[in-house]
Amino acid sequence: MLPRWHIFWGAIFTLLTYLIFPTLPIVYLLLIFLSSFLIDFDHYMAAVYKTGDFNLKRVFNYHIERGRTASKEREKGIRIKGDLHIFHTIEFLIMVYLLSFLWYPFIFVFIGMVFHSLLDAGYLINKDYLYRRELFLINWIRRKLSKKK
């Protein structure tokens, strides 16, 4: 899903949250909104790691090209995992949740990130690309370690 859609749906979700909980401080609403799309910073990090290029436009193009390649591969029956997006893993989400026990506002970051992840899951299932996303960091680590042997 493109960042603009995460921003759009994140704004709608934050507005609905405000309508349901009108006394919620604006800073908590802002945390929900920002985390509903800034979680995608890991896409930028993955592209920079792969290409060594920090240019945002070229990073965006990298992901567009990776999407085209994945589409062609899928048509041929090839299903390969995509880049690791660490902020999208279950372990990272659990860590953010657990941090909310130390600092309460993290629960709002967690809510925004879960909302983002649910949007991603729906999009990936609809487009038949869920296989590309590594949901568990431990699986990615296992795969990397088994390739070194």
Q: Which domain holds residue 139?
A: 3-148
Rounded Cα distance between 129 and 134, Å, is 11
How many domains are there within the chain? 1
What string of pLDDT tens digits covers the 149 residues of the chain?
889 999 999 999 999 999 999 999 999 999 999 999 999 999 999 999 999 999 999 999 999 999 899 999 999 999 988 899 999 999 999 999 999 999 999 999 999 999 999 999 999 999 999 999 999 999 999 988 888 76
Q: In terms of DSSP H, where are the helices of 39-136? A: 41-51, 56-75, 90-99, 106-126
Q: Is 29:20 a contact under the CB 8 Å cutoff?
A: no
Give the Cα separation of 136 and 134 in Å (integer). Answer: 6
Under the phi-then-psi rule, with left for phi > 0, alpha for psi from -120 to 50, and beta for the rest, what region is 134? Answer: beta
Which pTM was predicted? 0.91
**Whole-number pLDDT of residue 148:** 72
Q: What's the start-to-end Cα distance of the chain, in Å?
A: 35
- Residue corresponding to tokens 């909104």: 33
CA 127, CA 67: separation in Å to the nearest integer? 11
